[in-house]
Every structure is written in structure tokens, then in C-alpha cells.
Amino acid sequence: MGKQRKIWSPEVKEEIVLAVLSGEKSIAELARQHGVAESLIHNWRTQFLEAGRARLAGNKQDDG
């Protein structure tokens, strides 16, 4: 049977991305600390920044 993927909460993703953006720790350090692939952290950072740009451009997310 294959390895089950870990589900990361939005709060943990945000904590990791903010640590990267602040320069607090490197992506490699955070990847080792949290047991996550560096490429995944790169993806989260990109998604975080793109969402911020969209929001600043006036795009609003539906609240449901």
C-alpha cells in the first residue's frame, strides 16, 4: 500500500510561509523541521504571494 499524504492546515502553511518570507529560517531548514518537501514550501509561498497580489488588485474571494 502507498504512503498516505499528510494534510497541512492553513495555519501551519501560513506559519511556514511567513517564516520563509521574514527570513527567519531558510526553506531547507523549515522543510527538515516540519518534514515537508522543499518544493511544497515553494508552491505554498507562490500561492500565498499570488493570492495577496490578487487581493490588492481588488479581486475578492466569495465568502460562500
| Structural domains of the chain in order of their starting residue, each with its CATH number | 10-56 (1.10.10)
pLDDT at position 62, please? 57
pLDDT tens per residue, range 8-23: 999 999 999 999 999 9
Output phi, psi for 24, to 5 deg: -60, -45
pTM: 0.81
Indicate the Cα dihedral angle 10, 16, 21, 24, nearest 10°. 150
pLDDT tens per residue, range 5-60: 889 999 999 999 999 999 999 999 999 999 999 999 999 999 999 999 999 998 77
